[in-house]
Amino acid sequence: MTQEAQHYLLNRAEEACSILKEHIKKDHVVRVISHNDSDGLSAAGVMCNAISKQGGKFHVTIVPRLKEEFVRKLRNERYKLFVFCDMGSAYPDLIGKLKADSIIADHHQVLGDQDKEYENLIHVNPHLFGMDGTRDVSASGVSYLTVRGMDNVELTGLALAGAYGDMQCSEEIIGVNKMMLDEGLNAGVIEEHEDLKITYKKEEPLYKALSYTFNPALKGISGDPEGTKAFLEERGLSYGIKFDDLAEEEKDLLKEELIKITPKIFDKVYSIPRETPALRNIEDYSRILDACGKNKKYGVGLSICIGERENALEEGITFAKKYRDNLVKGIDWIKKEGSVQLDNIQYIYTEDKARKSLMGTISSIGLELEILNPNKPVIAISKMDNIIKISGRTSMDLIRKGVNLGYALGEAAKSFNGAGGGHNIAAGAVVPFKDMDNFTDIVDEIVGTQIRQ
Ligand SMILES: [Mn+2]
């Protein structure tokens, strides 16, 4: 079944590839629209690299989310081909009405009639074929499939960075992600080795590097430099020097102790050997793109993806450090504040500007570290003028019990003329501030129904 689904998805992507090739051949500038997160930037990067390689031209716009109004405005643009990455599956009807060809390379839930065919639109989305858009493939992977027919195996590393960005690789890598990984490994584009997954291991003193490690989250350590110092001291380990400077016995003891917290800390690490050191580790690459997006420096992220290795990369690295520091502050904040408990969900609320773009991530990490109640989804609310922006995050355990946040937030937002949707595990919505209490109550109710079914 899965094999068959993948086969259909690949066929659809090949159709999209032919259309793309045709337009490049006719020297049409390809209009690419993509999302501002790590996956969206990787997806746009994959697309643009592939277009360049064929001698084609592109015009990219990166947006935080696709609004109907934005699609309507595209009608006034005279491009012959539009490519939507990491978005578009919510508006196939609208996109199908553009007076040009379009490709949607998305992995979000599809809204509207799934079987409907459009004359000038090729919709590439794993959900159309019964695949899982939260684990099997992300937008960067769907984009890779779309350009795969033009021989782009060197882009598998970048495509995998997008999948990491959407947290599709924190458990076993499966589906199209696995297929891409294998293609990259076979071609020597990607390398695999086993290692301690300590972030900034080479750059920072051990206690800091450990406290900056969130993938996987380490209870008592992630986001807690002081706690980490104590942890290392208690075990007689040096904490102020870099990991590489530890004695071999110290390294072994550290590994043993960290594995007790989570075995995931010693795992496969994938790298792009031909990349510059800062981007070689695929997770680091993903983190830098994510930080560009969170800083609203989409151009910087995209420049990195399409090969700028000087100023843009330096900026990206700075953003990643700033982001990491804010994350530590954010974790501290939820530790102190905790969450508001409803029957089936919990929520956190902020008006703090620096914290807003982190709310979703803080929620996921808070769940993992069990600083937040691990038995309830988290609804993270940021107030912006008279609206609230909501990020919902939940765990695999709760999904197995029936929770689907994309549906819950989408349905609840509709009641207040808001918009919402996303994945079962991570979703978002925007509603008026005045409806906040009613909104959280409705989400609470919907999630309650989902769990009881
Ligand atoms: Mn995505």
C-alpha torsion angle, residues 160, 107, 99, 47 (rounded to 10): 0
- CA 307 to centroid of ligand 1, rounded, Å: 21
Q: Please answer whether residues 390 and 420 qualify as being in contact, where contact means their C-beta atoms are separated by less than 8 angstroms.
A: yes
Predicted pLDDT of residue 115: 84
Q: Which residues contact 95 (CB under 8 A, 6 or more apart)?
A: 71, 82, 84, 88, 102, 104, 121
Tell me the pairing of strands 101-105 and 346-350: unpaired
- CA 42 to centroid of ligand 1, rounded, Å: 9
| Residue 84 CB burial class (10 angstroms; 0-12, 13-18, ≥19) | buried
- CA 64 to centroid of ligand 1, rounded, Å: 11
Strand segments (E) across 64-98 = 81-85
Strand segments (E) across 245-368 = 266-271, 340-341, 346-350
- CA 179 to centroid of ligand 1, rounded, Å: 18
- CA 181 to centroid of ligand 1, rounded, Å: 18
Distance CA 103, CA 98 (A): 11
**Measuring CA to CA, how many Å separate 116 from each of 80, 92, 256, 314?**
22, 9, 55, 46
- CA 424 to centroid of ligand 1, rounded, Å: 13
- CA 239 to centroid of ligand 1, rounded, Å: 37
- CA 231 to centroid of ligand 1, rounded, Å: 36
DSSP classification of residue 371: S
Q: Please answer whether residues 157 and 187 qualify as being in contact, where contact means their C-beta atoms are separated by less than 8 angstroms.
A: no
- CA 20 to centroid of ligand 1, rounded, Å: 21
Distance CA 374, CA 63 (A): 32
- CA 176 to centroid of ligand 1, rounded, Å: 14
C-alpha torsion angle, residues 23, 29, 35, 37 (rounded to 10): 110
Domain coordinates in residue numbering, the chain: 2-183, 195-267, 338-452
- CA 107 to centroid of ligand 1, rounded, Å: 7
- CA 310 to centroid of ligand 1, rounded, Å: 27
Q: Please answer whether residues 86 and 40 qualify as being in contact, where contact means their C-beta atoms are separated by less than 8 angstroms.
A: yes
One-letter amino acid at 416 equals F
- CA 377 to centroid of ligand 1, rounded, Å: 20
Rounded mean pLDDT for each run of 10 residues along the chain, 453 residues in total? 89 98 98 97 98 98 94 95 97 95 95 87 96 94 98 98 94 95 98 96 95 94 96 95 96 97 96 97 97 95 96 97 94 95 98 91 94 97 96 95 96 93 90 97 98 89
DSSP classification of residue 238: -
Residues in the chain: 453
Whole-number CA gyration radius for the chain: 22
Predicted pLDDT of residue 1: 54
Q: Please answer whether residues 318 and 325 qualify as being in contact, where contact means their C-beta atoms are separated by less than 8 angstroms.
A: no
- pTM score, whole prediction: 0.88
Q: Which residues contact 213 (CB under 8 A, 6 or more apart)?
A: 197, 198, 199, 221, 222, 265
Q: Please answer whether residues 214 and 198 qualify as being in contact, where contact means their C-beta atoms are separated by less than 8 angstroms.
A: no
| 3-class state of residue 58 by DSSP | strand
- CA 214 to centroid of ligand 1, rounded, Å: 20
Distance CA 396, CA 412 (A): 22
* 338-452: CATH class: alpha beta
- CA 168 to centroid of ligand 1, rounded, Å: 10
- CA 378 to centroid of ligand 1, rounded, Å: 20
Distance between first and last Cα of the chain = 26
- CA 138 to centroid of ligand 1, rounded, Å: 5
- CA 94 to centroid of ligand 1, rounded, Å: 20
Burial 402-423 (b: 16+ CB within 10 A, else e): ebbbbbbbbbbbeebebbbbbb
Angle, CA 405 vertex, CA 171 and CA 373 arms, to 5°: 70
- CA 116 to centroid of ligand 1, rounded, Å: 23
- CA 32 to centroid of ligand 1, rounded, Å: 15
Fold classification of 2-183 is inorganic pyrophosphatase (n-terminal core) (3.90.1640)
Nearest by Cα to 88 from 122, 38, 51:
122
